[in-house]
């Protein structure tokens, strides 16, 4: 499947099927810090992602110190 990462934007290929939680674990991404988006909706951590999917892993952390 195609996985879109951000900051900076880049794409990687990951073999499916795989659960969201396993994908994040493999990529060493803290699930608290991202959303996983498939199409126009979100995928919860136990969701199965298939080889044909295009998913975006979107960071949610933002903010200056003010």
> C-beta of 53: minimal distance to another protein in Å?
14
Using CB under 8 A, list all residues that contact another protein.
6-7, 30-35, 37, 40-47, 58-66
What is the distance in angstroms between the CA of the first residue and the CA of the last residue of the chain?
A: 39
For residues 2 and 50, the answer to whether their CB atoms sit within 8 Å is no
Pick between residue 15 and residue 61 the one whose CB is nearest to another protein.
61
Cα 44 from Cα 63, distance rounded (Å): 25
State the minimum distance, in angstroms, from the CB of residue 54 to another protein: 15
């Amino acid at each position: 499947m195609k996985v879109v990462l951000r900051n900076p934007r880049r794409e990687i290929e990951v073999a499916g099927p795989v659960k969201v939680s396993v994908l994040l674990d493999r990529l060493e991404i803290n699930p608290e810090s991202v959303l996983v988006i498939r199409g126009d909706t979100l995928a919860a951590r136990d969701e199965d992602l298939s080889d044909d999917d295009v998913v975006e892993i979107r960071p949610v952390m933002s903010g200056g110190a003010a």
